[in-house]
Structure 1
Amino acid sequence: MKKIKYLKKITPLLFVITPIIIIMGWTTTIIGELIRRQHKPSVFCPWLISEQSITPLKNTKHLLVSAYTDQRLGGFDLRIIGVFKRDFVDPLYCSFCCAGFVSETTPSIILPHSDHFGFPYGTMDVLCRIPDNCDATYVTLLTAPSTVNISEQLWIPIRNKKAPKKAENELNFTVCISTLFGDYNNVLQFAQTLEMYRLLGVNRVVIYNTSCGPELNRLLKFYSQEGFVEMVPWPIDKYLNPSRGWNFAEHGGDLHYFGQITTLNECIYRSMERSRYVLLNDIDEIIMPYKHDNLNSLMDSLQPHPNVAEFLIENHIFPKKYFEPSGRFHLPQWSNVPGINILEHIYREDPNSSYHPYKMIVQPRLVEQSSVHQLLRNLGEQFYVPKEICRIIHVRVALLKSLQLEELNEDKRLWDFQEKLIPNVDKVLRRAGLLTED
């Protein structure tokens, strides 16, 4: 009975003391964990996440663009694509945000792209090793192997995190358009090109936009809302003085052609786990099959070459100063739409013997680094597609200016698609509010 009375007396006290003991235990554990973390590099992260397509790297002259897992390189399993000052490349260290905590730093390997055309800035890849047992979600680069002041760094997200399964929604063809700049407003040719690509079987077009004209901006918004075009903001002119040309000696500036090489490489990695093939060409070029009605059939015919990383397509200029004489495609509804009507230009240059410009269809999983006209580093082979099978239709200023009309070749390949192309162009222009006549 005495024991029961004693328990009755201390029971209320236990209800008070027990939570205090538990809280003290939790507090001790938390304080211990915080003390432990002061002596190790594990701290909460990330603090500042970059939402931009271009991220300045603190205490350097470098710009980070994007980070992608890359399981192909044996030990180095992350690739960061960036724009670096070529004469100012010191060692860099990778730091990862692993499920909310900062990892220990790991040294990096910096791989410059060999094509920079003499400009002070060029595209570079930084290869990092993700630490063991790290579920990495964000990464940043440091100039010293220390996480002191790491809370001041900007972190960029890691893309393509998981090795892909054969996705049911994998795209067959993605077109990468490197850079729009200088208030480009060639609306009619742009609409015709995109609708031609849609007829050929392209699933998505990725465009890096620095600036464009007001009418083209309206059209781009429509295509983006529809999902056919993926727009990537590219404000490179906020950080550098980008060149409007490809040759530093002639054009000057900090970076080749508004960062064309950087954006092409970024687009390849962006598409690597979601597209079988990537077409790398300019906005006024169409990679056109001549023996097949679509790109799927073209590539099926080339499957005896399964290990080809790059299929090179010869570029043929259609000078815009020469018009088809009948005027059958000089359509009145397009008269107020700015830009070139590619259906009116049917006369083709043949490249001269000394210069054969090419663009590419690539298998992105076999690509490491690309330039504009060829791959720089790849895991496969190279194949020149015969021009009788496929060539580029490129309506622009004549390249061989001395040629007269009678020296050009008549080529009406685009007319094979006119019955579907014209109403499709009308429809997209009307929906974008750029076509008022029926």
Structure 2
Amino acid sequence: MNTKTGNTTCLWKRDFVLLIFTVVMVILLYSMVTEETTTVRSPVPKLQEKIYPVPISEESITPLKNTKHLLVSAFMDQRIKGFDIRIIGIFKRDSIQPLHCSFCCGSVFNQTTPATILVHSDHFGFPYGATDVLCQIPQNCDASHVTLLTNPSANASEHTFIPIRNKMKKTRFNFTVCISTLFGDYNNVLQFAQTLEVYRLLGVDRVVIYNTSCSPELDRLLRSYSQEGFLEVVPWPIGNFLTPSNGWRFQDFGGDLEYYGQLVTLNECVYRSMERSRYVLLNDIDQIIMPYKHDNLVSLMNTLEPQHPNVGAFFIEEHIFPCKHFEPSRKFHFPRWEKVPGVNILEHIYRQEPDRSVYHQYKMIVKPKSIEQTSVHEVLKKFGELYKVPPDVCRMIHLRSGLQGFLNVEELNEDKRLWDFQEKLIPNVDKVLKRAGMIPAEEQNKL
């Protein structure tokens, strides 16, 4: 009898231990499953899918389904009566068809309105050209994203939408410089750094550049400036979609699109800057818009603006500084810059007088809200007047080969305007080159 009771007690203890073990294992397994489920469901993309049941593109170039066209970006733009949205795109000019704008309105999508298509008049004969598409937002729609449909009843969930920008209106900058495209593994590192540092001293707040391809050395410099916040680099992989041209005239260079989409990126940059910058400078990386009677761009525009209150685009005359001629003393030829690829702008002080009897190029300082469409050297559509700034007030310094053949130094004008900035410019350039690892260690110790 005592033996039976002992066996029952042992069995009960064993069953109790097994029960406790089972409960603990169930709790552990439940915790692990709960944690895994939480981890899987937490990322933002899942939430975005719930809000926007359509594909969303954050790329700088997005193919438009059922067409030969490309979408670049969309902006709020209510300057023209009857329209709310301007889409900037790259369209094949011989394949324009009726389109309809389709909107994401909160969790609702596929609300459509007819689209108006405006191909820019400057396309230089290339098959593809910069194109604006204007549309109206449907009533009671807080539109966040938009796409284009060839058929208004098409299934919008099969199309890719792009975000609508400039919904927030807040000016943060006085001056933004828009530099169209870097391509061909661009490697002019020294001039790039010098130019950006000159612009910083002139009062520029932000530089925007569209990058197709550049050298590893310049890429390091771009990353350094981007981390600092002074430079905004927009990836521009145009070669993945079209055959870009290396020149500006189709009959000379061929290809699908002029100069890697230069006209598209300039217009995109104007709209990108429209609600955040008071002025935009449109020029290339080897050019500097330089005041000659003012210490900086702020003082320049504070003088010009009251004199010409209705002007929306200030034209700055190009003045070429031929790269073949060097300042003879070579006082700014520093050993620490010798291994940095590129042109040293301080060594070129000889300026070529423009030939005004032939077509002469200008670049621009624009009020972005006064511009509807721009080309490289002129405005195509505008809301304000134009004004050519006298060259003794402001001119464009352009380092390149001369356009009037080889001229002797005696036939050129000495212009040392860049030297006025040397005291701050040189240490600032040293600093950014050092930060990007461009100056050798032994030279850094001498700074």
TM-score greater than 0.5 by the shorter chain: yes
Q: Show the counterpart of 2:396.
A: 392
Q: Show the counterpart of 1:298.
A: 300
Q: Show the counterpart of 1:142.
A: 149
Consecutive unaligned residues of structure 2, counting only runs of 5 or more, are 1-49
CA contact (8 A) 1:44 1:102 kept: no
CA contact (8 A) 1:46 1:97 kept: no
- What is the aligned-residue RMSD (CA, Å)? 1.1
> Which of 132, 140, 151 is matched with 2:139 structurally?
132
1:112/1:397 CA distance change after superposition, 3 Å: same
CA contact (8 A) 1:348 1:408 kept: yes
- Once the two structures are superposed, the pairs formed by residues 341-360 of structure 1 within 5 Å of their partners are 341-352=344-355, 353-360=357-364
3-state SS of 1:302 partner: helix
CA distance in 2, matches of 1:427, 1:402: 36
Q: Show the counterpart of 2:411.
A: 407
Q: Show the counterpart of 1:21.
A: none
CA contact (8 A) 2:102 2:156 kept: no
Q: Show the counterpart of 1:24.
A: none
- Once the two structures are superposed, the pairs formed by residues 85-96 of structure 1 within 5 Å of their partners are 85-96=92-103
Counterpart of 1:225, as a letter, is Q
- Once the two structures are superposed, the pairs formed by residues 276-315 of structure 1 within 5 Å of their partners are 276-303=278-305, 304-315=307-318
Moved over 4 A (4+): none
CA distance in 2, matches of 1:89, 1:326: 59
Q: Show the counterpart of 1:212.
A: 214
3-state SS of 2:427 partner: helix
Q: What is the Cα deviation at residue 103 of structure 1? A: 4.2
Q: Show the counterpart of 1:202.
A: 204
Q: What is the Cα deviation at residue 75 of structure 1? A: 1.2
Consecutive unaligned residues of structure 1, counting only runs of 5 or more, are 1-42
CA distance in 2, matches of 1:211, 1:74: 40
Q: Show the counterpart of 2:434.
A: 430
Counterpart of 1:89, as a letter, is I
- 1:352-392 deviations in whole A, cap 9, x for unaligned? 12121100000001110000001100000000000000001
Larger radius of gyration: 2
3-state SS of 2:403 partner: coil
Q: What is the Cα deviation at residue 405 of structure 1? A: 1.9
CA distance in 2, matches of 1:191, 1:63: 33
Aligned length: 391
Q: Show the counterpart of 1:104.
A: 111
> Which of 153, 159, 173 is matched with 2:165 structurally?
159
Which is worse superposed, 391-400 or 233-242? 391-400
CA distance in 1, matches of 2:325, 2:255: 34
CA distance in 1, matches of 2:435, 2:52: 45
Q: What is the Cα deviation at residue 44 of structure 1? A: 7.2
CA contact (8 A) 2:74 2:88 kept: yes
> Which of 318, 321, 340 is matched with 1:318 structurally?
321
CA contact (8 A) 1:110 1:124 kept: yes
CA contact (8 A) 2:51 2:106 kept: no
1:248/1:115 CA distance change after superposition, 3 Å: same
CA distance in 1, matches of 2:178, 2:310: 21
Q: Show the counterpart of 1:118.
A: 125
- Once the two structures are superposed, the pairs formed by residues 2-17 of structure 1 within 5 Å of their partners are none
Q: Residue 330 in 1 paired to residue 337 in 2?
A: no
CA distance in 2, matches of 1:230, 1:104: 33
CA distance in 1, matches of 2:192, 2:53: 41
Q: What is the Cα deviation at residue 258 of structure 1? A: 0.2
CA contact (8 A) 1:103 1:131 kept: no
CA distance in 2, matches of 1:192, 1:161: 35
CA contact (8 A) 1:46 1:155 kept: no
- 1:127-162 deviations in whole A, cap 9, x for unaligned? 00000110000001000121x322110000000114
> Which of 244, 247, 251 is matched with 2:246 structurally?
244
CA distance in 2, matches of 1:44, 1:196: 46
3-state SS of 2:95 partner: coil
Q: Residue 272 in 1 paired to residue 274 in 2?
A: yes
Q: Show the counterpart of 1:18.
A: none
Q: Show the counterpart of 2:237.
A: 235
Q: Which has the higher helix share?
A: 2
3-state SS of 2:328 partner: coil
